[in-house]
Amino acid sequence: MGEIMKYYTKELYDEMQIYGFVVFPDSKEEWVELVQSYDDMDIDYIERLKSELAYRKNDLLTFLPVSLHHAINKGTFMINYPSQEEKEVIEQCRSRFEHKLKTIRNECKANYALIKHLLPENAVRLYESSMHDATVISVSYLSDSKECILLLNHHDGNGQTVDIKLTFTGVHKISNIEHIIDAWWIYDEVYVTNHGFELHVLFDGPCEMWETTIEATDVFIEYLPSSIAKDL
Protein backbone atom coordinates (compact mmCIF):
# COMPACT_ATOMS: atom_id res chain seq x y z
CA MET A 1 0.00 0.00 0.00
CA GLY A 2 1.37 3.39 -0.97
CA GLU A 3 2.20 5.87 1.75
CA ILE A 4 -0.46 8.38 0.81
CA MET A 5 -3.82 9.17 2.32
CA LYS A 6 -6.72 8.29 0.06
CA TYR A 7 -9.30 10.68 1.41
CA TYR A 8 -8.11 13.38 3.82
CA THR A 9 -5.11 14.63 1.90
CA LYS A 10 -2.99 17.71 2.52
CA GLU A 11 -4.51 19.24 -0.62
CA LEU A 12 -8.03 18.73 0.73
CA TYR A 13 -7.03 20.29 4.04
CA ASP A 14 -5.50 23.30 2.25
CA GLU A 15 -8.68 23.73 0.20
CA MET A 16 -10.77 23.48 3.36
CA GLN A 17 -8.76 26.31 4.93
CA ILE A 18 -9.41 28.51 1.90
CA TYR A 19 -13.16 28.12 2.18
CA GLY A 20 -12.91 28.83 5.87
CA PHE A 21 -11.08 32.06 5.02
CA VAL A 22 -13.36 33.24 2.21
CA VAL A 23 -16.34 34.11 4.42
CA PHE A 24 -18.22 37.40 4.26
CA PRO A 25 -21.08 38.90 6.29
CA ASP A 26 -24.47 38.74 4.58
CA SER A 27 -24.57 42.48 3.85
CA LYS A 28 -22.24 45.44 3.35
CA GLU A 29 -23.73 47.06 6.46
CA GLU A 30 -22.69 44.06 8.53
CA TRP A 31 -19.24 44.25 6.96
CA VAL A 32 -18.87 47.88 8.03
CA GLU A 33 -20.02 46.98 11.55
CA LEU A 34 -17.50 44.15 11.68
CA VAL A 35 -14.60 46.40 10.65
CA GLN A 36 -15.74 49.02 13.18
CA SER A 37 -15.91 46.45 15.97
CA TYR A 38 -12.25 45.63 15.41
CA ASP A 39 -11.38 49.33 15.28
CA ASP A 40 -13.07 49.73 18.67
CA MET A 41 -10.66 47.11 20.01
CA ASP A 42 -7.69 48.95 18.43
CA ILE A 43 -7.25 46.15 15.89
CA ASP A 44 -6.69 47.03 12.22
CA TYR A 45 -8.95 44.43 10.63
CA ILE A 46 -8.02 45.41 7.06
CA GLU A 47 -4.29 45.04 7.75
CA ARG A 48 -5.00 41.66 9.28
CA LEU A 49 -6.86 40.62 6.12
CA LYS A 50 -3.99 41.88 3.94
CA SER A 51 -1.50 39.76 5.88
CA GLU A 52 -3.66 36.66 5.60
CA LEU A 53 -4.27 37.32 1.91
CA ALA A 54 -0.51 37.42 1.31
CA TYR A 55 -0.04 34.24 3.37
CA ARG A 56 -2.78 32.34 1.50
CA LYS A 57 -2.17 33.81 -1.95
CA ASN A 58 -0.82 30.64 -3.60
CA ASP A 59 -3.65 28.50 -2.27
CA LEU A 60 -6.24 31.11 -3.26
CA LEU A 61 -4.88 31.06 -6.81
CA THR A 62 -4.88 27.27 -6.77
CA PHE A 63 -8.41 26.68 -5.55
CA LEU A 64 -10.41 29.72 -6.64
CA PRO A 65 -11.47 30.38 -10.26
CA VAL A 66 -9.54 32.55 -12.71
CA SER A 67 -12.20 35.28 -12.55
CA LEU A 68 -10.98 36.10 -9.02
CA HIS A 69 -7.25 35.94 -9.75
CA HIS A 70 -6.87 39.59 -10.73
CA ALA A 71 -8.12 40.78 -7.34
CA ILE A 72 -6.00 38.17 -5.55
CA ASN A 73 -2.83 39.20 -7.43
CA LYS A 74 -3.60 42.88 -6.94
CA GLY A 75 -4.02 42.37 -3.20
CA THR A 76 -7.58 43.70 -3.03
CA PHE A 77 -9.45 40.42 -2.68
CA MET A 78 -11.23 40.18 0.70
CA ILE A 79 -10.07 43.72 1.56
CA ASN A 80 -13.35 45.24 0.42
CA TYR A 81 -16.86 43.86 0.58
CA PRO A 82 -17.30 41.72 -2.57
CA SER A 83 -19.47 42.66 -5.50
CA GLN A 84 -22.60 40.64 -6.15
CA GLU A 85 -20.79 38.86 -8.98
CA GLU A 86 -17.88 37.91 -6.72
CA LYS A 87 -20.25 36.70 -4.02
CA GLU A 88 -22.07 34.48 -6.51
CA VAL A 89 -18.81 33.00 -7.80
CA ILE A 90 -17.59 32.29 -4.26
CA GLU A 91 -20.91 30.73 -3.21
CA GLN A 92 -20.93 28.49 -6.29
CA CYS A 93 -17.38 27.36 -5.49
CA ARG A 94 -18.29 26.78 -1.86
CA SER A 95 -21.33 24.72 -2.84
CA ARG A 96 -19.22 22.52 -5.11
CA PHE A 97 -16.60 22.08 -2.42
CA GLU A 98 -19.19 21.14 0.21
CA HIS A 99 -20.55 18.50 -2.16
CA LYS A 100 -17.01 17.23 -2.78
CA LEU A 101 -16.29 17.09 0.95
CA LYS A 102 -19.53 15.25 1.66
CA THR A 103 -18.70 12.69 -1.03
CA ILE A 104 -15.21 12.12 0.39
CA ARG A 105 -16.57 11.70 3.92
CA ASN A 106 -19.15 9.19 2.74
CA GLU A 107 -16.55 7.22 0.78
CA CYS A 108 -14.20 7.14 3.78
CA LYS A 109 -17.00 5.96 6.09
CA ALA A 110 -18.08 3.30 3.60
CA ASN A 111 -14.53 2.00 3.25
CA TYR A 112 -14.09 1.84 7.02
CA ALA A 113 -17.39 -0.02 7.43
CA LEU A 114 -16.14 -2.66 4.99
CA ILE A 115 -12.86 -3.31 6.81
CA LYS A 116 -13.77 -2.67 10.44
CA HIS A 117 -14.35 -6.36 11.26
CA LEU A 118 -10.89 -7.20 9.88
CA LEU A 119 -9.01 -4.66 12.02
CA PRO A 120 -7.48 -5.40 15.44
CA GLU A 121 -9.87 -4.36 18.22
CA ASN A 122 -7.46 -1.73 19.57
CA ALA A 123 -6.99 -0.21 16.11
CA VAL A 124 -10.77 0.21 15.92
CA ARG A 125 -10.76 1.78 19.37
CA LEU A 126 -8.02 4.25 18.38
CA TYR A 127 -9.67 5.22 15.11
CA GLU A 128 -13.07 5.74 16.70
CA SER A 129 -11.64 7.68 19.66
CA SER A 130 -10.67 10.59 17.36
CA MET A 131 -7.34 12.16 18.21
CA HIS A 132 -8.15 15.25 16.14
CA ASP A 133 -6.21 18.33 17.37
CA ALA A 134 -4.10 16.28 19.81
CA THR A 135 -0.54 17.62 20.10
CA VAL A 136 2.49 15.32 19.89
CA ILE A 137 4.61 15.68 23.02
CA SER A 138 7.18 12.98 22.31
CA VAL A 139 8.00 10.11 19.99
CA SER A 140 10.00 6.98 20.67
CA TYR A 141 10.75 4.26 18.15
CA LEU A 142 12.59 1.14 19.24
CA SER A 143 13.49 -0.76 16.09
CA ASP A 144 14.90 -3.76 17.97
CA SER A 145 11.62 -4.41 19.78
CA LYS A 146 9.52 -3.10 16.87
CA GLU A 147 7.71 -0.73 19.20
CA CYS A 148 6.71 2.90 18.67
CA ILE A 149 5.36 5.14 21.42
CA LEU A 150 3.57 8.44 20.80
CA LEU A 151 2.73 10.68 23.73
CA LEU A 152 -0.10 13.10 22.98
CA ASN A 153 -1.85 15.92 24.77
CA HIS A 154 -5.53 16.03 23.91
CA HIS A 155 -8.73 17.82 24.92
CA ASP A 156 -11.41 15.44 26.14
CA GLY A 157 -15.15 15.87 25.72
CA ASN A 158 -15.40 17.83 28.98
CA GLY A 159 -13.01 20.57 27.88
CA GLN A 160 -10.15 19.16 29.97
CA THR A 161 -6.72 18.22 28.66
CA VAL A 162 -5.49 14.67 28.99
CA ASP A 163 -2.21 12.98 28.13
CA ILE A 164 -2.49 9.85 26.01
CA LYS A 165 0.17 7.22 25.42
CA LEU A 166 -0.13 5.21 22.19
CA THR A 167 2.07 2.12 22.05
CA PHE A 168 2.27 0.47 18.64
CA THR A 169 3.63 -3.08 18.77
CA GLY A 170 4.92 -5.32 16.02
CA VAL A 171 5.81 -2.29 13.92
CA HIS A 172 6.49 -3.42 10.38
CA LYS A 173 6.79 -0.05 8.67
CA ILE A 174 7.01 3.54 9.87
CA SER A 175 7.65 6.89 8.22
CA ASN A 176 8.01 10.59 9.11
CA ILE A 177 7.86 10.22 12.89
CA GLU A 178 10.93 12.42 13.29
CA HIS A 179 9.00 15.46 12.02
CA ILE A 180 5.90 15.43 14.22
CA ILE A 181 7.04 16.75 17.62
CA ASP A 182 4.77 19.67 18.59
CA ALA A 183 2.54 18.93 15.59
CA TRP A 184 -1.25 18.66 15.68
CA TRP A 185 -3.02 15.44 14.73
CA ILE A 186 -5.42 16.59 11.98
CA TYR A 187 -6.87 13.60 10.13
CA ASP A 188 -6.33 9.88 10.14
CA GLU A 189 -7.22 6.87 8.04
CA VAL A 190 -6.82 3.18 8.82
CA TYR A 191 -6.38 0.18 6.53
CA VAL A 192 -6.05 -3.60 6.89
CA THR A 193 -2.68 -5.18 6.06
CA ASN A 194 -1.13 -8.62 6.29
CA HIS A 195 0.68 -7.46 9.44
CA GLY A 196 -2.43 -6.09 11.16
CA PHE A 197 -3.27 -2.51 10.27
CA GLU A 198 -1.78 0.61 8.77
CA LEU A 199 -2.51 4.02 10.26
CA HIS A 200 -2.03 7.19 8.23
CA VAL A 201 -2.08 10.49 10.11
CA LEU A 202 -1.90 13.98 8.65
CA PHE A 203 -0.03 16.22 11.10
CA ASP A 204 0.12 20.01 10.99
CA GLY A 205 3.57 20.89 12.28
CA PRO A 206 5.12 24.19 13.33
CA CYS A 207 6.62 24.65 9.85
CA GLU A 208 4.76 22.32 7.50
CA MET A 209 2.43 19.35 7.24
CA TRP A 210 3.51 15.74 7.37
CA GLU A 211 1.84 12.43 6.71
CA THR A 212 3.02 9.77 9.12
CA THR A 213 2.45 6.08 8.43
CA ILE A 214 2.64 3.30 11.00
CA GLU A 215 2.00 -0.31 10.07
CA ALA A 216 1.75 -2.47 13.18
CA THR A 217 0.24 -5.59 14.67
CA ASP A 218 -1.51 -3.84 17.56
CA VAL A 219 -1.79 -0.56 19.46
CA PHE A 220 -2.45 0.10 23.12
CA ILE A 221 -4.04 3.30 24.45
CA GLU A 222 -3.33 4.63 27.94
CA TYR A 223 -4.75 7.78 29.52
CA LEU A 224 -2.13 9.20 31.87
CA PRO A 225 -2.04 11.70 34.72
CA SER A 226 0.01 14.72 33.68
CA SER A 227 2.65 14.00 36.35
CA ILE A 228 3.37 10.63 34.80
CA ALA A 229 3.37 11.95 31.24
CA LYS A 230 6.02 14.56 32.06
CA ASP A 231 8.39 11.81 33.19
CA LEU A 232 8.10 9.82 29.95
DSSP 28-68: HHHHHHHHHHHHHTT--HHHHHHHHHHHHHHHHHHHS-GGG
| 4 part of a folded domain | no
Q: Which amino acid is at 41?
A: M
Instruction: Give a yes or no: residue 3 inside a domain.
Output: no
Say what the pLDDT of residue 230 is. 52
State residue 134's pLDDT score: 95
Mean pLDDT, the chain, as a whole number? 91
Same domain, 161 and 83: no
Domain boundary among 77, 92, 113: 113
Please tell me whether residues 125 and 227 are part of one structural domain: yes
Q: pLDDT tens-digit profile of 9-44?
A: 999 999 999 999 999 999 999 999 999 999 999 999
**2 in a structural domain:** no
Same domain, 156 and 225: yes
Element (H, E) at 198: strand 196-204
**Same-domain check for residues 27 and 80:** yes
Residue that finishes a domain, picked among 113, 145, 162: 113
Question: Does 84 share its domain with 132?
Answer: no
Note whether 51 and 126 are same-domain residues.
no
Same-domain pairing of 92 and 134: no
Report whether pLDDT(218) > 60: yes
In this structure, are 51 and 149 located in the same domain? no
* Domains contained in the chain, number: 2
Q: 98 or 206: which carries more pLDDT confidence?
A: 98
Q: Kindly report the length of the chain.
A: 232
Is the same domain home to 146 and 218? yes
Q: What is the CA radius of gyration of the chain?
A: 21
Domain range spanning residue 80?
Answer: 10-113
Q: Does residue 140 lie in a domain region? A: yes
Q: Residue 164 class from Cβ within 10 Å (0-12 exposed, 13-18 middle, 19+ buried)?
A: buried
Q: Beta 135-142 vs 147-155: how paired, if at all?
A: antiparallel
- 3-class SS of residue 161: strand
